[in-house]
A and B are shown apart, each in its own frame.
Chain A
Amino acid sequence: MSAKKWDKFAVGVLYALSIFIVLILFSLLAFILIRGLPQISWEFLTQPAKSFQVGGGIGIQLFNSFYLLFLTMLISTPLALGAAIYLSEYAKQNWLTDIIRTAIEVLSSLPSVVVGLFGFLIFVIQFDFGFSILSGALALTIFNLPLLTRTIEDSLQAIPGVQREAGLALGLSRWETVTRIILPAAIPGILTGMILAAGRIFGEAAALIYTAGQSAPALDFANWNPQSITSPLNIMRPAETLAVHIWKINSEGVMPDGAQVSAGASAVLVLAVLLFNVVARYLGKKLQKKATSA
């Protein structure tokens, strides 16, 4: 075969491989959505789950998922931001920096179930937080921190060095240069990274089973006293999330319509994660455009 034909052949193979991957994704999505979408209704999204009877919803689990997500981002964003700024803007090339980077990489490759069990030992048992939103949020923070730090660091690194020089040459301190020039310029990338991280957190189950717990006590959405055990805002209550709920139904579900609830919940979960991804892309592009045009 001539070089040209080989080239065509190779491109054809690569093309087929990419199509194959896309097909897998789409068939998976189609399967989940076709099975799950018919189950979704306003009641399903808002009603609490039921045991031993049909017609239970996922209202509390859905709320728990978002609340945990919010708390996790609240805890992990400042930490990740600080670490990323240090690594990107201040850290010198030496053994200490190498250790920090290696630690972050190792942390990011820990299986989430290990993070969950670690969280169980430390937060649930040792700190006596019990199965609670707080324990769950802290475990998810450990799970989320390395990747978020990495994304933010990459976003900061993507800002050209000449921008730093520009700030310094105007007599600004390094801190001012970082916080007033580099960070604002990196916001589109940082936001995109945060939303993608949110998608990962939202779908996480293994890290939560032993930390946030597997039960969703009834909540009184009129009760906004964070001290009260029935208040949605209470961070010391156990909180089963959507992903954990799906796992639970399929392993030890005690409702007759478990398969339908699981299918519906899966569809909601997948849609939410998809939504995070779409929003991340859209927002990233939009902010980038805003920064570079009128």
Chain B
Amino acid sequence: MPNQTNLETNILKMSADKKIDLSTEDLHVWYGDNEAIKGVSLEFEENKITSLIGPSGCGKSTYLRSLNRMNDEIESAKVTGKIIYKGIDVNASNIDVYEMRKNIGMVFQRPNPFSKSIYDNIAFALRRHGIKDKNTLDEAVETSLKQAALWDQVKDQLNKSALALSGGQQRLCIARAIALKPDILLLDEPASALDPISTSQVEETLLQLKEDYSIVIVTHNMQQASRISDYTAFFYVGNVIEYDETRKVFTRPKIQATEDYVSGHFG
């Protein structure tokens, strides 16, 4: 195990020709007196998949959840630092978080479709955001289900309960998130509760989606990170100690702790 107090780090700075969609500057997250994230600064490139990896409890999910301010919902949580999206610090108190979350969508670890029909799972949020026209809704449902590679499986049962949908609930949740046409999609271990077939379907879906979205994904699965992501950030006790292109992190990590982790020596 690496020394916890004096961490070496190697954080990638994106070159000027790269388009940055989202970034954080010195982000700290506190749960009460416990500092879960200790000043993380990362940049996420547009239309790329970035993996956040690291041992359990390292703060990667906490960090992800602060990006669309889901930590606001936890009473004891306090987030300081900047979250820059489109040049605006969305961590500021005057930001309309509901509007912001439309642009920064999120998919959770456990598939959590609503107890509504497949159609309504997707149309619901759109309606709440003011889209009433039936044709527009139909189209949005179809498009997002196609993008999530679920359309062929469910097109004849759109009025069935989403809870009855087996093998595909997570893709439905992805479809639900992208129906709002966000810029960024955050995924918190989206495949950890899925069987291998569903997992590979989700991965394929994500690879398709990155043409339109910037994706940040937390994963426990090293193979998954190396298969699908362009960049990988290695979290360790609340810090990012290595952030680079995925192939570099997995083949020639610069930090010993990263090498130990990705090669399975701890974690």
> Nearest-CB distance from B244 to chain A (Å)?
29
Q: Which bracket fits the contact residues of B?
A: 20 to 34
Could you give, for residues 64-75 of chain B, a 1 whenever the CB lies within 8 Å of some chain A CB and a 0 otherwise? 000010100101
Q: Check A170/B163 contact, CB under 8 A, given A92-B75, A93-B75, A162-B108.
A: no
> Nearest-CB distance from A165 to chain B (Å)?
6
Label chain A's interface by main secondary structure: helix
Q: Check A171/B180 contact, CB under 8 A, given A162-B110, A163-B114, A180-B124.
A: yes
Interface residues of A, count at CB 8 A = 26
Q: Would you call A12 an interface residue if the criterion is a C-beta within 8 Å of the partner chain's C-beta atoms? A: no
Residues of B within 8 A of A93 (CB): 75
Neighbour of A165 across the interface among B112, B128, B129, B164, CB < 8 A: B112
> Nearest-CB distance from B185 to chain A (Å)?
11
Q: Check A168/B114 contact, CB under 8 A, given A293-B161, A294-B160.
A: no
CB-nearest residue of chain B to A293: B164
| Docked complex: A236-258 residues within 8 A CB-CB of B | none
Q: Would you call B98 an interface residue if the criterion is a C-beta within 8 Å of the partner chain's C-beta atoms? A: yes
> Nearest-CB distance from B73 to chain A (Å)?
6
Contact A291 B125 (CB under 8 A): no
Residues of B within 8 A of A292 (CB): 115, 161, 163-164
> Nearest-CB distance from B17 to chain A (Å)?
32
Residues of A within 8 A of B115 (CB): 163, 184-185, 291-292
A146 to B68, CA, bound (A): 38
Could you give, for residues 140-184 of chain A, a 1 whenever the CB lies within 8 Å of some chain B CB and a 0 otherwise? 000000000000000000001011111111111110100011001
Binding site for A on B (CB under 8 A): 68, 70, 73, 75, 98-102, 105-106, 108, 110, 112-116, 124-125, 128-129, 157, 160-161, 163-164, 173, 176-177, 180
Binding site for B on A (CB under 8 A): 92-93, 160, 162-174, 176, 180-181, 184-185, 290-294
